[in-house]
Amino acid sequence: MKSKVLILLSALMFASVSCLAQQKYACVNTDYVLRSIPDYTNAQKRLDKYVEDWTAELVEKQSELENLRAEYEQESYLLPENLKKRRQEEIKSKEQEVRALQQQRFGPGGDLDRKRAELLKPVQDRVYAAIERIAQEKNYGMVFDKAGSPAVLFANKKYDISDEVLESLGYNPNVSSSVSEGDGSKKKPTNPELRQRDGDRPSASQKSRDTQKK
């Protein structure tokens, strides 16, 4: 009886391995796809402008706080206790104002998260829907995202469906969405493999997140 169970388990394992071996796989570079879509790049520029304005606002409030502290340190020894207490309360109030503003703009669920969802998520959803549609049509068992993912160490170009995703969305993968500010002429898309190796310049939103972490 025990030997029959072992034989049955071995058969099931062999069938599972055979099934996995027959699965079709593909990869996609979502970073390359998104940066090739004008709606996304324009939305990213709008988001960066919001971040730039919010950062300037926060820097101004922080500067006001530093000025209050500096003035208090210079004058505190001349002030009577009641005025000292009032100035200390002003500084404390300004500190709370700065923290609240930082939380409002860049905290979890704050303005940045809401704007990102409003501006970028609709385009991202279209891309993911296109990936799912292609995967179902071509019976791919899995589609890996190689956009900066350390899990994908190598991917043969013939299994990369990034251009196919762009075509399914109505975009020409041979023409970049990037438009030069000078004459409006279109450029060929940057090789995604080189861009992944060399790294993109961080956007204003990325710089802001790094600043907040520090």
Q: What value does the mean pLDDT take over residues 146-161? A: 68
Cα separation, 180 vs 81, whole angstroms: 61
The answer on pLDDT for 210 being more than 60 is: no
Q: Which helix (H) or strand (E) holds 105?
A: helix 81-106
CA-based nearest residue to 144, from 133, 136, 152? 152
Q: Is 108 helix (H, G, I), strand (E, B) or coil?
A: coil
Q: What is the pLDDT of residue 139?
A: 86
Q: Is 27 helix (H, G, I), strand (E, B) or coil?
A: strand
pTM, rounded to two decimals: 0.64
Band (181; pLDDT cuts 50, 70, 90)? very low
Band (152; pLDDT cuts 50, 70, 90)? low
The answer on pLDDT for 88 being more than 50 is: yes
